[in-house]
Chain A
Amino acid sequence: MNSDPSLPPKSSVKPWNDPRVRSAVFQILAILAVAWVGYSLFQNTLTNMASRGISTGFGFLDSSAGFGIVMSLIEYNESMSYGRTFFVGLANTLLVSGLGIIFATIVGFIVGVLRLSNNWLIARLALAYIEIFRNIPLLLQIFFWYFAVLGTLPSPRQSVSIGEVAFLNLRGIVLPKPIFEAGSGAVGIVLIIAIIISLAIARWAKRRQAATGQFFPVLPVSAALILGAPIIAYFALGSPIGWDVPALSGFNFRGGITVIPELGALLLALTLYTASFIAEIVRSGIISVSRGQTEAAAALGLPPRRVLRLVIVPQALRVIIPPLTSQYLNLTKNSSLATAIGYPDLVNVFMGTTLNQTGQAVEIVAITMAVYLTISLSISMLMNIYNRAVALKER
Chain B
Amino acid sequence: MAVHQPLPDLPPPPSERGLWGWFRQNLFSTWYNSIASLVVGYLLIIWLGPVINWALISAVWTGEGTDDCRPGAACWIFIQQRLGFFLYGFYPAELRWRPNIVFVLFLITVVPQFFPRAPGRKWLALFGITGLPVLGFVLINGGFFGLDPVATSRWGGLMLTLILAYVGIIAALPIGVVLALGRRSEMPVIRGICVTFIEFWRAVPLITILFMASVMLPLFLPQGVSFDKLLRALIGITLFQSAYMAEVVRGGLQAIPKGQYEAAQALGFGYWRSMRLIILPQALKIVIPGIANTVISLFKDTTLVLIIGLFDLLGAVRSTLSDPAWRSVAAEGYLFVALCFWIFCFGMSRYSHNLEKKLDTGHKT
Contacts and interface: CB of A to CB of B under 8 A. Distances in A.
A118 B26 contact: yes
A121 B223 contact: no
Interface stretch (A47-55, A192-200, A238-246, A288-296): A47-55
Contact of A140 (B193, B221, B296, B334): B334
A201 interface: no
B203 A376 contact: yes
Contact of B341 (A137, A336, A351, A368): A137
B334 A121 contact: no
Given A334-B205, A376-B203, A377-B203, A45 B219 contact: yes
A27 B41 contact: no
Given A30-B189, A144-B331, A365 B215 contact: yes
A118 B208 contact: no
Interface stretch (B117-125, B148-156, B300-308): B300-308
B260 to A, nearest CB: 15
A340 B215 contact: no
B334 A143 contact: yes
B273 to A, nearest CB: 12
Contacts of A377: 203
Interface of B is mostly: helix
Contacts of A232: none
Contacts of A132: 342
In which size bucket is the chain B interface? 35 or more
A120 B27 contact: yes
A144 B346 CA distance: 19
Interface string B202-226: 1111111001100110111111000
A14 to B, nearest CB: 15
B216 A125 contact: no
Size category of the A interface is: 35 or more
A333 interface: yes
B33 A336 contact: no
A135 B207 contact: no
Interface string A14-33: 00000000010011001100
B267 to A, nearest CB: 14
Contacts of B211: 347, 351, 365
Contact of A119 (B27, B265, B342, B346): B27
Contact of A137 (B26, B186, B300, B318): B300
B188 A137 contact: no
Nearest to A132: B342
A329 B333 CA distance: 30
A143 B215 CA distance: 24
B321 interface: yes
Contacts of A376: 202-204
Contact of A136 (B202, B222, B345): B345
A318 B92 CA distance: 56
Interface string B337-365: 11001100110010000000000000000
A143 B193 contact: no
A23 B345 contact: no
Q: Which of A47, A151, A340, A372 has the most CB atoms of chain B within a 10 A radius of its CB? A: A340
**Which 8 pairs from chain A and chain B are nearest by CB?**
A120-B26, A135-B345, A376-B203, A333-B205, A27-B189, A148-B331, A137-B300, A336-B205
Interface of A: 1-2, 23, 26-27, 30-31, 34, 40-41, 44-45, 47-49, 51, 118-122, 125, 131-132, 135-141, 143-144, 147-149, 151-152, 329, 333-334, 336-337, 339-340, 347, 351, 355, 361-362, 365, 368-369, 372-373, 376-377
7 contacts: A27-B190, A121-B37, A135-B349, A329-B203, A340-B306, A368-B208, A369-B208
